[in-house]
Structure 1
Amino acid sequence: MKNTNKWALGAMFTLVLAGGYWGLSQFATPQAEEQTGLLPYKNASVIATGQKIYQANCAACHGNDLQGEANWKQPKPSGRMPAPPHNETGHTWHHSDELLFNLTKYGIARLSNNPNYQTDMPIYEDILSDDEIIAVLAYIKSNWPTEVQQRHDQINAGS
């Protein structure tokens, strides 16, 4: 490979990295750098944005206080599952940031490769931007007790 091609390839790689950094930099804070995972759950600005988006798009089913629907572990008469709590009493924190993001954006049917799976949960791919989904998930995580946040960070770290 000629030196010119190597230089161009290196420059392109640097621009891609810089673009990715710039896209995430709006969420960067000294505290966020200490976190493990995708969610900037210690960033007050992101949390405030996420709370507004959550109230507008999620609270009707998952509750204003993240409490979920009653009897969330039992199917409804329709056979569909109720909206689970997103507080520490639910299972949200049992899943990595990446899985939570993908479930929110693409839905369970797509992720499980089961197009017949029926749920009341909307697919947010064409409703919320990636940053908005991340803000909502950061808001949710910010409400968990510290020990649950730490356990979730361990899940994100793969340990």
Structure 2
Amino acid sequence: MASAAPAPSRKRLAIWISVGILVGGVLIVSSAYYMQTSRSPGINSGSRKQIALGRAVYEKHCASCHGARLEGQANWQRRLPSGRMPAPPHDDTGHTWHHPERVLFDITKYGVVPPHAPPRYQSNMPAFQSVLSDDEIRAVLVYIKSHWPAKVMEWRAEALKYLEQP
């Protein structure tokens, strides 16, 4: 009978070890997720210097289509006679803020191509891969984001928190 008493304590020990492993696993996965999502292309908030660079690059390469005030082209939601879409606004009236950082970066760098558009999609949006450095692209996106109101940034964070998982 004396040997029967230790069994419950072994069982409890096994349960506590299992719980510890489970909690540890959750912490490791959560930490890995946090570290990965914080490494999106570096388009979160920017310094004044980065915003100033973004503004200069935007004015030179983007404003002619997307507008000096990020307002986009008129009737941007209706196709042009060519069948292509007008340049959308990048302010809070458009849909730019709906997209994850990686999508915005890729579209700016490579153009509107798969996987961010259907195959053979026709767009007037050029690829800036051979024109702008990655840092300049990031700066433009930081500049654009610097114009979004706090409420849009809150909505965006809530909407995108599941899309930017690794």
TM-score (norm 2): 0.68
- CA distances 1:49-100 after superposition (whole Å, capped 9, x unpaired): 0000000000000000000000000000000000000000000000011111
Name the stretch that deviates more: 106-115 or 59-68: 106-115
CA contact (8 A) 1:47 1:136 kept: yes
CA–CA distance in structure 2, aligned partners of residues 90 and 43 of structure 1? 24
CA–CA distance in structure 1, aligned partners of residues 128 and 159 of structure 2? 24
- Structure 2, unmatched stretches of 5+, are 1-37
CA positional deviation for 1:112: 4.2
* Number of residue pairs matched by the alignment: 125
Q: In the alignment, does 2:90 pair up with 1:86?
A: yes
CA contact (8 A) 1:40 1:46 kept: no
Q: In the alignment, does 2:138 pair up with 1:124?
A: no
TM-score (norm 1): 0.71
CA contact (8 A) 1:62 1:68 kept: yes
CA–CA distance in structure 1, aligned partners of residues 117 and 147 of structure 2? 31
Task: State the secondary structure of the residue aligned to 2:113.
Answer: helix
Name the stretch that deviates more: 60-69 or 40-49: 40-49
CA contact (8 A) 1:38 1:98 kept: no
Q: In the alignment, does 2:77 pair up with 1:73?
A: yes
Corresponding letter in the other structure for 2:82 = S
Alpha carbon RMSD of aligned pairs, Å?
A: 2.1
Corresponding residue number in structure 2 for 1:137: 141
CA positional deviation for 1:108: 1.7
Aligned-residue identity in percent: 46
CA contact (8 A) 2:103 2:116 kept: no
CA contact (8 A) 2:77 2:88 kept: yes
CA contact (8 A) 2:84 2:123 kept: yes
Larger radius of gyration between Structure 1 and Structure 2:
2
CA–CA distance in structure 2, aligned partners of residues 79 and 122 of structure 1? 16
- Structure 1, unmatched stretches of 5+, are 1-32
